[in-house]
């Protein structure tokens, strides 16, 4: 069963074409990876799917049969699309707990917000699952957090919202070896708990795939997907570089 199906997607900004007639299908519950050099269009694809206003988008992107391109970003989130940011922002004065409760309530009817005891129980369960210290719930969102802590907060948000399709945009960016391992452990733990969740990982490097085992890998160059394969494709890329795929 297809969870996300993209057909003939074209994305422009400031009269520059970035994504060019892109087709991509993700099966329910699978982990897929898009790899490509800087400027290939990976993050543009993620942001365009989430509804970033800077982009002009044509084509089709359906999540479980619902056309995302007809919806605003908030509605896309409610349909089950999630984007983990490459550079999570800090929000002084807003605690992690308050932020996440507001995120949950934004998906519920306004007259039926989640009851605070129910939210606290759910948040504690998710923090236990991801091995996040309870003290983080009372801290201001990302303020004073290390790079690894910021990325784990993104995974906690993903766990709380439980999306149908989660896009992880260069989650490995700026992380040292130990931080990367901890973040990947959190992703793997969540994926084990939510088997139907579809995950699309966007990355430059093979190193993240030492910890997360993908079902499919796609190589992206100049706004196009030029190659698809299994996990072994990342090893080929690591050994031979992107030039190999430019010639193919």
CATH number, residue 64: 3.40.50.300
The partner residues of 168 in beta bridges, in order of sequence, read: 84, 201
Give tens-digit pLDDT for 56-75. 999 999 999 999 999 999 99
CA-nearest of 134, 135, 183, 116 to 155 is 183
Domain count, the chain: 1
CB 29 within 8 A of CB 197: yes
| pLDDT at residue 109 tops 80 | yes
**pLDDT 10s digits, 206-231:** 888 889 989 999 999 999 999 999 98
Containing structural domain, residue 214: 2-89+163-247
Please compute the mean of the pLDDT values over residues 171-195 and round it to a whole number: 92
pLDDT computed for residue 221 by the predictor: 94
Q: Does residue 13 lie within any of the structural domains?
A: yes
Task: Give the Cα-Cα-Cα angle 84, 85, 87 (nearest 5 degrees).
Answer: 150
Judge contact between 163 and 80, C-beta under 8 A. Answer: yes
Q: What is the structure's pLDDT at 247?
A: 63
User: Is 116 domain-assigned?
Assistant: no
Residue 214 lies in a domain: yes
Residue 155 in any domain: the answer is no
What does 115-183 look like in DSSP terms, one character per residue? PHHHHHHHHHHHHHHTT--GGGGGSEETTT--HHHHHHHHHHHHHHH--SEEEEESTTTT--HHHHHHH
Please list the alpha-helical segments (H only) found in the chain. Answer: 42-50, 73-79, 96-105, 116-129, 147-161, 177-193, 232-240, 243-247
201 in a structural domain: yes
Residue 143 in any domain: the answer is no
Question: Quick check: is 131 in a domain?
Answer: no
pTM of the model: 0.93
CA distances from 105 to 83, 109, 242 (A): 18, 8, 44
Q: CA torsion angle for 188, 194, 196, 197 (degrees, to 10)?
A: -60
Q: How confident is the model at residue 174 (pLDDT cuts 50, 70, 90)?
A: confident
**Which of 49, 84, 103 lies closest to 183, judged by CA?**
84
Mean pLDDT for all residues in the chain: 93
Asked if residue 207 belongs to a domain, the reply is: yes
Widest distance between CA atoms in the chain: 58
Residue 248: is its pLDDT beyond 70? Answer: no
């Amino acid at each position: 069963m297809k969870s996300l199906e993209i057909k003939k997607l074209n994305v422009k900004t400031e009269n520059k074409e970035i994504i060019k007639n892109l087709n991509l299908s993700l099966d329910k519950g699978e982990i897929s990876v898009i790899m490509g050099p800087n400027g290939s269009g990976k993050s543009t694809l993620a942001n365009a799917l989430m509804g970033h206003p800077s982009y002009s988008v044509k084509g089709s992107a359906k999540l479980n049969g619902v056309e995302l391109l007809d919806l605003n970003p908030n509605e896309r989130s409610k349909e089950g699309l999630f984007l983990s940011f490459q550079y999570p922002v800090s929000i002084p004065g807003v605690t992690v707990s308050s932020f996440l409760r507001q995120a949950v309530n934004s998906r519920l009817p306004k007259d039926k917000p989640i009851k605070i005891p129910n939210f606290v129980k759910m948040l504690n369960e998710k923090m236990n699952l991801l091995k996040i210290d309870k003290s983080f719930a009372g801290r201001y969102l990302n303020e004073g957090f290390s790079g690894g802590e910021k990325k784990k907060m993104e995974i906690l948000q993903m766990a709380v919202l439980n999306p149908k399709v989660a896009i992880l945009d260069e989650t490995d960016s700026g992380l040292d070896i130990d931080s990367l391992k901890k973040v990947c452990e959190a992703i793997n733990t969540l994926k084990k708990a939510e088997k139907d969740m579809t995950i699309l990982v966007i990355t430059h490097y093979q190193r993240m795939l030492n910890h997360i085992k993908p079902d499919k890998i796609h190589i992206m160059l100049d706004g196009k997907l030029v190659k698809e394969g299994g996990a072994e494709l990342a090893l080929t890329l690591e050994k031979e570089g992107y030039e190999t795929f430019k010639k193919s």
